Structure 1
Amino acid sequence: MNKPQYDYDVIIIGAGPSGALAASRLVQQGIRVLMVEKQHFPRFSIGESLLPQSMVYLEQANLLEAVEAAADRLGFQYKDGAAFYASGQESTFEFSKKFSQGPEYTYQVKRADFDHLLATEAERMGAEVIYGSQVTAIQFSPTPVLTLCDEEGQSRTVTAQFVLDASGFARVLPRLLDLDLPSDFPVRGAVFTHVIDNISDPSYDRNKILIETHPQDPDVWYWLIPFSDGTASVGCVAQPDFLQKFETEQNLDSSHELLKICLKQTQRFSQLLSNAEFPNKTQRITGYSANVKKLYGDHFALLGNAGEFLDPIFSSGVTIAFKSAKLASDCLVKQFNFEPVCWETEFAEPLSSGVTTFKAFVNSWYDGQLQDILQFKQAPDNIREMICSILAGYVWDDNNPFNQAPHRRLNVIGELCAS
Structure 2
Amino acid sequence: MKHTAQHTAVDVAIIGAGPAGAVAAALLRKSGRSVLVLERQHFPRFSIGESLLPQSMAYLEEAGMLQAVIEAGFQYKNGAQFVYRGQSSSFDFRDKHTAGWGTTYQVERAVFDEILIRCAAEQGADVRFGHTVQAVHTGEGTDAAPRVDVIDEAGHAYQVEARFIFDASGFGRVLPRLLNLEAPTRMPTRAALFSHVYDGLPPGVHDRNKICVATHPERRDVWFWMIPLAGGRSSVGCVAESSFLDVPATEREPKLRALIQKEPTFNRLIGDAPFLLPVRHIGGYSANVERLHGPGYALLGNAGEFLDPVFSSGVTIALRSAHLAVQTLNRQLDGEQVDWSANYDVPLRKGIDTFRAFVERWYTGELQDIIFYPDQTPSIRRMISAVLAGYAWDESNPYVADPVRRLNALHEVCTQR
Q: TM-score range by the shorter chain?
A: over 0.9
Aligned residue in 2 for 1:236: 238
**Aligned position for 2:192:** 190
Spell out structure 1 runs of 4+ moving beyond 6 A. none
Match of 1:394 in 2: 391
- Quick one: distance in 2 between partners of 1:213 and 1:127? 43
Q: Is 1:289 aligned to 2:291, yes or no?
A: no
Contact 1:191 1:285 in 2 (8 A): yes
Structure 1 unaligned regions, length at least 5: none
Mapping for residues 97-246 of structure 1, pairs under 5 Å: 97-141=95-139, 142-200=144-202, 202-244=204-246
SS of corresponding position for 1:203: coil
1:275, distance to aligned residue in structure 2 (A): 4.3
Give the AA of the match of 2:70.
E
What is the identity, as a one-letter code, of the residue corresponding to 1:228?
A: A
Alignment of 1:318-397 (within 5 A): 318-397=315-394
Residues 236 and 259, structure 1, Cα contact 8 Å, conserved in 2: yes
Q: Give the Å deviation of 1:256.
A: 2.2
State the Cα distance separating 1:201 from its structure 2 match: 7.2
Are 2:13 and 2:164, in contact at CA under 8 Å, matched by a contact in 1? yes
Task: Check the 8 A contact 2:64/2:119 in 1, yes or no.
Answer: no
Q: CA deviation at 1:130?
A: 0.4
Q: Which amino acid aligns with 2:231?
A: D
The CA deviation at 1:62 is 1.6
CA distance in 1, matches of 2:41, 2:358: 33
* 1:13 alignment partner in structure 2: 15
The separation in 2 between residues aligned to 1:281 and 1:32, in whole angstroms, is: 40
Separation of aligned partners in 2, 1:119 and 1:52: 20
Change (3 A) 1:89 1:115: same
Unaligned runs of 5+ residues in structure 2 are 1-6
Whether contact under 8 Å (2:55, 2:390) holds in the other structure is yes
CA RMSD of aligned residues (A): 1.4
Residue 299 (str. 1) matches residue 301 (str. 2): no
Deviations 1:181-233 (A, max 9, x none): 12111110001111111223733100000000000000000000011211111
CA contact (8 A) 1:6 1:161 kept: no
Give TM-score scaled by structure 2 length.
Answer: 0.95
Equivalents in 2 of 1:168, 1:134: separation in Å? Answer: 14
The residue number in structure 2 matching 1:277 is 274
Matching residue of 2:3: none
Kept in 1, the 8 Å contact 2:80–2:90? The answer is yes
Structure 2 Cα separation of the partners of residues 417 and 388 of structure 1: 17
Separation of aligned partners in 2, 1:191 and 1:378 = 34
Secondary structure at the counterpart of residue 395 of structure 1: coil
Q: Tell me, in whole angstroms, the C-alpha distance in 1 between the residues paired with 2:352 and 2:365.
A: 20
1:83-111: CA deviation from partner (whole Å, max 9, x where unpaired): 00002111000112111100110000000
The number of residue pairs the alignment matches comes to 406
Quick one: which of 83, 86, 96 aligns to 2:81?
A: 83
SS in structure 1 of the partner of residue 230 of structure 2 = coil
Checking the alignment, whether the CA contact within 8 Å between 1:78 and 1:105 is kept in structure 2 is yes
With the length of structure 1 as denominator, give the TM-score of the two structures.
0.94
> Does residue 31 of the first structure (1) align with residue 33 of the second (2)?
yes
Tell me which residue corresponds to 1:255. Answer: 252
* 8 A Cα contact 1:252 1:258, kept in partner: no
Amino acid in structure 2 at the alignment position of 1:265: K
**SS of the counterpart of 1:281?**
coil
**1:51 counterpart residue number:** 53
Contact persistence 1:9–1:31 (CA under 8 A): yes
